[in-house]
Amino acid sequence: MGHITNISRRTFLVGSAALTGGVAFGTWSFAQDAVTDVPNPLLPGLGPNAASFNAWVKISPEKITLITPHADVGQGVASSQAILIAEEMDLDLGQFETEFGPPSAAYWNTGLANEFVPFTETDHSPAAEAAREGARKYLKESGLQITGGSSTIPDSYEKLRLAGAVARETLKAAAAKRSGAALADIRTQSGHVILPDGTKIPYGQLATEAAQLPPVQNVALRAPSQWRLIGKPMERVDIKAKATGALKFGIDQTVDGMVFASVKLNPYKGGALTAFDAGTAEAMPGVKKVLQITNGIAVIASNSWYAMQAVDAVECTWAKGNYPPEQAEHWAAVEASFSPAKVDKEWRNEGDIAAALKDATVIDAEYRAPYVAHQPLEPLNAIAVVREDAAEIWVGHQMPRIVQSMVATLTGLKPEQVVFHNQWSGGSFGHRLEFENVRTVIEIAKEMRGTPVKVVFSREEDFLQDFPRQIAMARNRGVVKDGKIIAADMHFASASAVRSQFGRLGMPAQGPDTQIPAGIWNMTYAIPNYRATTYAVEGVSPTSSWRSVGASTGGFFAECFIDELIHAAGLDPLKARIAMSTIDVYRKVLEAVGEMSDWKGPLGNGKGRGVAFMEAFGVPIAEVVEVSATAKGIKIDKIWIAAEVGKVVDPVNFENLVQGGVVWGLGHAINCELTYSQGAAQQTNYTSHEGMRMYQCPPIEVRGLENGSDIHGIGEPPTAISPPALANAIFAATGKRLREMPFNKFIDFV
């Protein structure tokens, strides 16, 4: 069900739009367009007494189901998508179920366009708006259903409220038709339509009649002052099941008749399997079969542990991959990329940078950021069954339509013959945008036709097959004079995660990578002579989007160097940033962390505070970190962080997500790098790549600001801003400037 383009339905929608006078609002709205101008993928699978008014709402006499198509990988978007619909539908928590829904172009991401265009978020000039519009058109035409780039809330904020309002108004119309009451006298409350005489009709009882009506598209959204759910703390729809163990992640699912598999793939990624000896493995307990797959071996057994033990015992000979075998060569490739021939783009060039840099007091500094692994706690897994005329797959994934088309390609089936069941994921951080689990489970299931196969990667295999965060360096120069920063010349060289990722999908990205200059193309300080240039690093490890993508390296490079210039100018790090702010809403974010932390300048006594600020994913975000230099090492005492997102949809989830982003950013900045030797990752479990543990985690005070008019997500920005805030704090406490991650290579932490 789900993905078949329904021509008659499409025609019908066009007809009904004409009937209601076309566009519902005085001004054209892309969200309105996204709700109405798509075939509804839920209609083909609806039962006889059920109704669906658009791609997000299903009602039957038994239950109300809200479709929350953005994958929930822990960021809580099943809940935030649901309350956006429920708000306008007059549903209370507990009156509906949620489902992730099918792969469908109906769920094209309207919120990602901003990330595709190099305009600062507050830039609403005709050029910026035209570029966004072009990006949106592309996203719609390609039907790109994707969770990522902190885009779920920007995508959903208006669209899902409209979807809920359409459902509400259509139910009201059905009640009017049934009762003969005037539509204007009918209202809704708590899952019921209420007639003028006070009669309450549960929505489910109107499903059959509502299904006969054209969805009422001409709807008005409620004023925020009337909101019951949005902006207030809610109990997340998954919280109880996650506290009782009842929630089934992808790895917990079972299918009748299922067998268990595990894989060993060439650790020198991209290389082939040249020979293997499975003699020992075949004789091990529970083993049913040993299979050769494209770049490795799969063992099928009667449980996952037997499969993992046996696949580990297969002796393999591997061909080389297509990147340098040793880590030092990767760094050499980055160093060699700072050349005119490798320029990806000069993003900005303001004032007279060449003249300004002739000053004798030029400050220059080199920064480095290593590869890091994703490694969410739920390892890669998937279940699939391949039959002659159909395939079915159960996997937690952020790009459902691409999973579907990949399965179709691998099996020779048509996309509409592939059923995809999205799953709750035990974290992602970018990992569930990759396909090694999808590809391997299908290769195995093809060999076991008719038998469902569950593949689970061992943690070690997951590390070895992880496409890490980009490796990157910066060479920055600047000049300060008379207590002012008068020049900054920022040069970043980086592998392109986006190009690598989409290249693997056969969808090569065009033009310069807008992620690599994160932090410098959109730097909003008043610096009279300013240049921002990026260089493309090629011929290194394949890489992938890692929580906050380019900003995870760019934020560190940009905000530590600005801090160096501020100190060289003899200025207060927070006051100087506030003074240099050119956008009012952004300045307020800096002022907020100043107020929260009661910032008063240097602390003394071995204590230090650092501040950092940037725009990441359209979100201006600032963080203050306080540390103590103890005899045993640096102790992080406290963190204050503020971000401007336009509207905080759920303050509790917002706080949790921001705190988690800080922990993710700091844990990896302090403790983690992924390095290569003989082509393979040297870190293969949390012993050597552990992130942050509880003892390192300080209190983290969070504030969400709502001064701006643009709506944003918050999954990624806190990760990007945390490493520079910590490095700047360590400088304040010790005088030691950390210019390379992970920091524990240079200083101890307690």
Q: Give the footprint of other proteins on residues 577-606 (CB under 8 A).
A: none
Q: Please report how close the Cβ of residue 176 comes to other proteins at its closest, in angstroms.
A: 40
Q: Please report how close the Cβ of residue 700 comes to other proteins at its closest, in angstroms.
A: 5
By C-beta, is 130 or 377 nearer to other proteins? 377
Q: Please report how close the Cβ of residue 692 comes to other proteins at its closest, in angstroms.
A: 7
Q: Applying CB under 8 A, which part among 234-242, 349-357, 444-452, 602-610 lies near other proteins?
A: 234-242
Per CB under 8 A, the list member of 81, 110, 266, 425 interacting with other proteins is 425
27 binds other proteins (CB under 8 A): no
By C-beta, is 270 or 286 nearer to other proteins? 286
How far is it, in rounded angstroms, from Cα 41 to Cα 547?
Answer: 30
Q: Which tokens hold the place of 156?
A: 């959903």
75 binds other proteins (CB under 8 A): yes
Per CB under 8 A, the list member of 40, 545, 653, 671 interacting with other proteins is 653
How far is it, in rounded angstroms, from Cα 584 to Cα 349?
Answer: 23
**Contact, 695 vs 632, CB < 8 A?**
no
242 binds other proteins (CB under 8 A): yes
426 binds other proteins (CB under 8 A): yes
23 binds other proteins (CB under 8 A): no
Per CB under 8 A, the list member of 2, 103, 154, 376 interacting with other proteins is 376
Per CB under 8 A, the list member of 215, 296, 321, 661 interacting with other proteins is 661
**Contact, 416 vs 102, CB < 8 A?**
no
Per CB under 8 A, the list member of 56, 557, 664, 749 interacting with other proteins is 664
| Exposure class string for 24-41: b at 16+ Cβ within 10 A, else e | beeeebbbbbbbbebbbb
User: x/- site string to other proteins, residues 669 to 708, per CB under 8 A?
Assistant: ----------------xxx--xxxxxx-x-xx--------
Which DSSP string do the residues of 485-526 spell out, in sequence order? EEEEEEEEEEE-HHHHHHHHTT-PPPSS-SSTTTTTTT--B-
Per CB under 8 A, the list member of 27, 225, 244, 339 interacting with other proteins is 244
Alpha helices of 180-299 — where are they, by DSSP H?
207-211, 239-244, 279-282
Strands annotated E in 27-161: 51-54, 57-59, 64-67, 97-99
260 binds other proteins (CB under 8 A): yes
**Contact, 623 vs 641, CB < 8 A?**
yes
How far is it, in rounded angstroms, from Cα 495 to Cα 513?
Answer: 10
249 binds other proteins (CB under 8 A): yes
Strands 64-67 and 97-99: parallel
By C-beta, is 679 or 704 nearer to other proteins? 704
283 binds other proteins (CB under 8 A): no
Contacts of 334 (CB under 8 A, 6+ apart): 368, 471, 472, 473, 493, 494, 495, 537, 540
Give the CA distances from residue 163 to residues 156, 270, 425, 660, in Å, rounded to whole numbers and listed in that order: 10, 44, 26, 30
User: x/- site string to other proteins, residues 379 to 418, per CB under 8 A?
Assistant: x---------------------------------------
How far is it, in rounded angstroms, from Cα 713 to Cα 715?
Answer: 6
Alpha helices of 381-496 — where are they, by DSSP H?
400-411, 436-447, 459-465
By C-beta, is 260 or 347 nearer to other proteins? 260
The number of residues making up the chain comes to 750
Q: Give the footprint of other proteins on residues 302-321 (CB under 8 A).
A: 303-306, 308
By C-beta, is 4 or 239 nearer to other proteins? 239
CB 481: neighbour CB atoms within 10 A?
13
CB 469: neighbour CB atoms within 10 A?
30
748 binds other proteins (CB under 8 A): no
Per CB under 8 A, the list member of 291, 652, 680, 747 interacting with other proteins is 652
Q: Please report how close the Cβ of residue 251 comes to other proteins at its closest, in angstroms.
A: 7
How far is it, in rounded angstroms, from Cα 187 to Cα 94?
Answer: 20
- Exposed / middle / buried, residue 182 (Cβ in 10 Å: 0-12, 13-18, 19+): exposed
Per CB under 8 A, the list member of 39, 69, 76, 191 interacting with other proteins is 76
Per CB under 8 A, the list member of 23, 135, 239, 365 interacting with other proteins is 239
Count the residues of the shown chain that bind other proteins, applying the rule CB under 8 A: 66
**Contact, 97 vs 66, CB < 8 A?**
yes
For other proteins, the binding residues (CB under 8 A) are 73-76, 233, 235-236, 238-240, 242-249, 251-252, 254, 260, 285-286, 303-306, 308, 375-379, 424-429, 456, 458-459, 652-653, 656-657, 659-664, 667, 685-687, 690-695, 697, 699-700
